[in-house]
């Protein structure tokens, strides 16, 4: 069973307890100035955004088929069976393809560091392996962020929509976006109104590059035979021409 | 010319100025990190160093594999005089791409990581391997020039013995990574402006790389003929210009087909920066293509040169558009490179020109300039049989 987070924007009161808990779990500084920054960055891995009177939360979406993990040339990013997409800073060479590839613009880079790392939420992988909930969901005083098995959370999200059809926009963000994510959103209004990207493809992104990459063995094998053959023919022709030229 | 101190010319002064700026930019990069030396951000993680130094650098060096294929695999011997300069350009180009990578990577000390830590699903992984292997191939294709100069016959024979598989590997590796540079962007369909995002990006990158390889060869021959006072191989370059015209027409036609099949042609009527930069890119490629179909243009050294320069700039415009322009709106940013980014890029280009000139002065690069007689120790038969180089 893969772990997920359900964030219900209609319940969120914007108290930013999740931000504080997240900073504490990572050992990152957290103060009023940082709390006022409404965007995720290398020193703030989750952020509450204000959209009029509504709130939204940004964090890594932990895609079912993450683009970041597929593009990482050194395999520093991995989708774990447990659900979180985890990062190994010791492998990372800093190509920043993950930043480029992420449809949600989640990964952040330590731009001003001499030995920089990529930073992003890891859905409290360590805590979850011990069976504990994520720091953010444990800290949420109103249950707006809830942690659990994905199937159960999807079912619960559907239930909430069915129970109060007037209070919810009737869709779950993350159910099919980029082939499904492990972070799911509920909202009272269409998702773009709370700052979520709604133009992302509905299918998994890694397929887009794999379609080409899987041709590599074919190109190599067919290419070798073809080029070798052409060389053999043209070279033979030249030799014959030379020999005939000599005979004359 | 006999004095120890090199004469101060305007070009040398410019070169020195570029290098001094780049030195300071390097200091900023090392001490203050990517943030101190670039205008990159979380939303715009790849800038000029990727779009120009890598995408253009690798592309502009594609003359190496194009001419190896023409001369040695298709056995069209008459192109041989321009083969060595093309291989030298390619070898220099790839070496400089690696230098650029050292600036661009967050952890340049881990440049070697993809060779040990594998992820075959990553386009970047494939590019890393291809570029590493191909730079090795280019080194081996170039080194006979050095052996010849030194008169080392044994290693020449060794390389000759593996030359055919080596050349085939070189062409294949180039085919793979020239197209893969386009595949890098396949994963950002929603971020990229539709005039450029296309599932055909890999094919387009490959075809345009071959085109610019030919254009660069014409460009180099013209410059070296002036620099070294040797005769221009005009009939040869003219026929190359004809191939270029046909190739670029095919390329432009495919671009048009692709745009029309994806129903995005109407975007050209929108008054946006993207539209104008797209039109600039297409014009820079279309104008020389049309011109090169005229025999009078191909047979005039100046016009032929101008056309090849236009193709080169059209190619650069295309890569910069893919790497920068196309991604700005979709990632909600406006990226303008910092002076230090431009400075490093200029220094790399300048270093390329300078090293090329230096090598061409001291090694037998232009065969027309240095006939076989100049190297009597390498017999004519052997010279002929050393396929590589």
User: Is the Cβ–Cβ distance between B206 and B229 less than 8 Å?
Assistant: no
- Per-residue pLDDT of chain B (389 residues), as tens digits, is 445 666 778 888 999 999 999 999 999 999 999 999 999 999 999 999 999 999 999 999 999 999 999 999 999 988 988 899 999 999 999 999 999 999 999 999 999 999 999 999 999 999 999 999 999 999 999 999 999 888 888 888 898 889 999 999 999 999 999 999 999 999 999 999 999 999 999 999 999 999 999 999 999 889 888 888 888 889 999 999 999 999 999 999 999 999 999 999 999 999 999 999 999 999 999 999 999 999 999 999 999 999 999 999 999 999 999 999 999 999 999 999 999 999 999 999 999 999 998 998 888 888 644 433 333 333 333 334 334 43
Cα separation, B386 vs B174, in Å, equals: 22
Of B144, B163, B166, B165, which Cα lies nearest the Cα of B155? B144
Q: Give the strand pairing for A54-58 and A77-79.
A: unpaired
The ipTM is 0.92
Cα-based angle B330, B331, B336 (whole degrees, multiple of 5)? 110
pLDDT at A9: 96
Q: How far is B139 from chain A (nearest CA, A)?
A: 21
User: Is the Cβ–Cβ distance between A143 and A156 less than 8 Å?
Assistant: no
Residues with Cβ within 8 Å of residue A190, at least 6 apart in sequence: A169, A198
| Cross-chain CB nearest to B35 (options A71, A111, A220) | A111
Cα separation, B80 vs A160, in Å, equals: 74
pLDDT at A65: 96
Residues with Cβ within 8 Å of residue A49, at least 6 apart in sequence: A38, A39, A55, A56, A57, A58, A194, A195
pLDDT at B373: 35
With contacts defined as CB-CB under 8 Å, which chain A residues touch B33? 110-114, 116
Residue A5, beta-bridge partner list = A147, A183
- Listed by number, the residues of chain B in 151-190 with a beta carbon closer than 8 Å to a beta carbon of chain A are 164, 167-168, 171-172, 175-176, 179-180, 183-184, 186-190
Q: What are the structure tokens assigned to B223, written together? A: 């410059």
Of B142, B146, B136, B89, which Cα lies nearest the Cα of B355? B89
Alpha helices per DSSP H over B228-272:
234-261
CB contact under 8 A, A73 and B124: yes
Residues with Cβ within 8 Å of residue B253, at least 6 apart in sequence: none
B120 touches chain A (CB under 8 A): yes
Cα separation, A246 vs A241, in Å, equals: 9
User: What DSSP character marks residue B134?
Assistant: H
Residues with Cβ within 8 Å of residue A213, at least 6 apart in sequence: B120, B121, B123, B126, B180, B183
| Cross-chain CB nearest to B33 (options A100, A112, A205) | A112
pLDDT at B3: 52
User: Is the Cβ–Cβ distance between A77 and A66 less than 8 Å?
Assistant: yes
Residue A184, beta-bridge partner list = A6
Q: Give the strand pairing for A183-186 and A3-8.
A: parallel
With contacts defined as CB-CB under 8 Å, which chain A residues touch B190? 103, 197, 199-201
Structural element, H or E, at residue A4: strand A3-8
pLDDT at B4: 66
With contacts defined as CB-CB under 8 Å, which chain B residues touch A101? 187-188
Residues with Cβ within 8 Å of residue A90, at least 6 apart in sequence: none
User: Is the Cβ–Cβ distance between B84 and B356 less than 8 Å?
Assistant: no
Residues with Cβ within 8 Å of residue A247, at least 6 apart in sequence: none
Into how many domains does chain B fold? 1
What size, in residues, is chain B? 389
Does any domain span residue B115?
Answer: yes
CB contact under 8 A, A220 and B176: yes
CB contact under 8 A, B40 and A116: no
Cα separation, A53 vs A63, in Å, equals: 28
CB contact under 8 A, B168 and A42: no
Using CB atoms within 10 A of its CB, is residue A199 exposed (0-12), middle (13-18) or buried (19+)?
A: exposed
Q: How far is B268 from chain A (nearest CA, A)?
A: 21
With contacts defined as CB-CB under 8 Å, which chain B residues touch A94? 105-108, 110
Q: How far is A213 from chain B (nearest CA, A)?
A: 7
| Cross-chain CB nearest to B36 (options A71, A99, A112) | A112
Cα separation, B311 vs B62, in Å, equals: 14
Cα separation, B197 vs B326, in Å, equals: 8
pLDDT at A147: 95
B130 touches chain A (CB under 8 A): no
Q: Report how far apart the first and last C-alpha atoms of chain A are (Å, whole number).
A: 81
Q: How far is B290 from chain A (nearest CA, A)?
A: 31
Q: What topology is assigned to A3-208 in CATH? A: Alpha-Beta Plaits (3.30.70)
| Cross-chain CB nearest to B46 (options A73, A74, A96) | A96
- Residue in A69, A79, A93 to test binding to B, most B beta-carbons within 10 Å: A93
Q: How far is A56 from chain B (nearest CA, A)?
A: 19
- Listed by number, the residues of chain A in 79-118 with a beta carbon closer than 8 Å to a beta carbon of chain B are 91-97, 99-101, 103, 105, 107-117
A197 touches chain B (CB under 8 A): yes
Helix (H, G, I), strand (E, B) or coil at A3: strand
Of A26, A20, A133, which Cα lies nearest the Cα of A89? A26
User: Is the Cβ–Cβ distance between B79 and A238 less than 8 Å?
Assistant: no
Ranges of each domain in chain A: 3-208, 215-247
With contacts defined as CB-CB under 8 Å, which chain A residues touch B188? 100-101, 103
Q: How far is B223 from chain A (nearest CA, A)?
A: 31
For residue B124, the number of C-alpha atoms closer than 13 Å in the C-beta half-sphere is 31
Is a pLDDT exceeding 50 seen at residue A12?
yes
CB contact under 8 A, A212 and B119: no
CB contact under 8 A, A227 and B34: no
User: Domain containing B265 — which CATH number?
Assistant: 1.20.1630.10
**Domain of B370, in residue numbers:** 10-385
With contacts defined as CB-CB under 8 Å, which chain A residues touch B74? 230, 234
- Residue in B79, B102, B124 to test binding to A, most A beta-carbons within 10 Å: B124
pLDDT at B367: 63
| Whole-number Cα distances in Å, A243 to A229, A238, B77, B78 | 21, 9, 17, 19
* Backbone φ, ψ for residue A47 (5° rounding): -145, 140
- Please give the order of strands across the beta sheet that includes A3-8: A145-149, A3-8, A183-186
User: What DSSP character marks residue B7?
Assistant: P
Residues with Cβ within 8 Å of residue B201, at least 6 apart in sequence: B182, B183, B185, B186, B322
Residues with Cβ within 8 Å of residue B324, at least 6 apart in sequence: B47, B48, B51, B335
CB contact under 8 A, A93 and B187: no
Q: What are the structure tokens assigned to B191, written together? A: 């971020």
Does any domain span residue B4?
Answer: no
Separate counts of helices (H) and strands (E) for chain B: 17, 0
Cα separation, A53 vs B327, in Å, equals: 31
Q: What are the structure tokens assigned to B118, written together? A: 């594998």
Residue pairs spanning A and B at CB distance below 8 A: 174
């Amino acid at each position: 069973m893969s772990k997920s987070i359900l964030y219900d924007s209609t319940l969120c009161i914007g108290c930013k307890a999740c931000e504080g808990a997240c900073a504490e779990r990572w050992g990152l500084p957290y103060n009023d100035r940082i709390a006022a920054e409404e965007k995720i960055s290398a020193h703030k891995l989750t952020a509450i955004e204000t959209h009029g009177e509504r709130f939204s939360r940004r964090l890594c979406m932990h895609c079912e088929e993450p683009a970041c993990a597929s593009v990482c040339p050194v395999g520093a990013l991995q989708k774990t069976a447990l659900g979180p997409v985890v990062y190994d800073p010791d492998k990372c060479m800093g190509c920043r393809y993950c930043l480029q590839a992420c449809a949600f613009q989640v990964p952040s880079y330590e731009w001003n560091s001499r030995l920089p790392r990529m930073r992003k939420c890891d859905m409290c992988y360590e805590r979850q392996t011990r069976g504990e909930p994520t720091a953010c969901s444990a800290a949420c005083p109103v249950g707006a962020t809830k942690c659990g098995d994905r199937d159960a959370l999807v079912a619960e999200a559907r239930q909430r929509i069915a129970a109060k059809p007037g209070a919810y926009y009737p869709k779950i963000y993350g159910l099919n976006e980029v082939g499904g994510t492990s972070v799911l959103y509920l909202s009272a209004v269409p998702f773009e109104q709370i700052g979520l990207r709604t133009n992302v493809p509905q299918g998994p992104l890694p397929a887009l590059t794999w379609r080409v990459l899987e041709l590599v063995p074919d190109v190599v094998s067919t290419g070798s035979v073809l080029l070798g053959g052409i060389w053999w023919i043209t070279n033979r022709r030249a030799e014959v021409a030379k020999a005939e030229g000599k005979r004359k | 010319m006999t004095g120890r101190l090199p004469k101060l010319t305007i070009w040398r002064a410019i070169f020195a100025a570029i290098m001094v700026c780049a030195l300071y930019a390097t200091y900023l990069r090392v001490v203050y990190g990517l943030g101190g030396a670039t205008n990159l951000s979380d939303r715009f993680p790849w800038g000029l160093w990727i779009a120009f130094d890598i995408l253009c650098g690798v592309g502009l060096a594609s003359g190496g594999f194009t001419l190896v294929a023409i001369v040695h695999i298709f056995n069209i011997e008459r192109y041989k005089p321009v083969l060595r300069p093309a291989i030298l350009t390619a070898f220099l180009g790839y070496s400089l791409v690696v230098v650029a990578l050292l600036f661009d990577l967050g952890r340049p000390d881990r440049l070697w990581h993809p060779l040990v830590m594998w992820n075959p699903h990553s386009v970047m992984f494939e590019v890393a391997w291809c570029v590493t292997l191909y730079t090795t191939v280019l080194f081996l294709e170039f080194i006979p020039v050095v052996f010849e100069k030194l008169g080392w016959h044994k290693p020449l024979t060794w390389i000759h013995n593996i030359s055919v598989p080596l050349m085939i590997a070189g062409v294949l590796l180039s085919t793979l990574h020239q197209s893969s540079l386009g595949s890098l962007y396949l994963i950002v369909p929603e971020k990229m402006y539709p005039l450029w995002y296309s599932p055909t990006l890999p094919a387009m990158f490959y075809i345009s790389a071959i085109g610019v390889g030919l254009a660069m060869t014409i460009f180099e021959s013209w410059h070296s003929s002036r620099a070294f006072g040797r005769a221009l191989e005009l009939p040869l370059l003219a026929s190359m210009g004809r191939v270029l015209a046909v190739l670029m027409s095919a390329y432009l036609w495919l671009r048009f087909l692709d745009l029309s099949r994806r129903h995005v042609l109407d975007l050209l009527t929108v008054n946006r920066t993207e539209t104008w930069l797209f039109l600039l890119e297409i014009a820079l490629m279309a104008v020389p293509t049309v011109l090169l179909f005229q025999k009078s243009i191909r047979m005039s050294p100046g016009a032929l040169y101008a056309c090849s320069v236009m193709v080169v700039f059209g190619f650069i415009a295309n890569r910069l558009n893919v790497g920068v322009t196309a991604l700005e709106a979709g990632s909600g940013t406006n990226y303008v490179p910092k002076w230090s980014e431009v400075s490093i890029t200029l220094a790399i280009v300048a270093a390329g020109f300078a090293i090329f000139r230096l090598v061409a002065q001291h090694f037998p690069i232009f065969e027309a300039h240095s006939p076989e007689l100049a190297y009597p120790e390498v017999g004519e038969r052997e010279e002929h049989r050393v396929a590589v180089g």
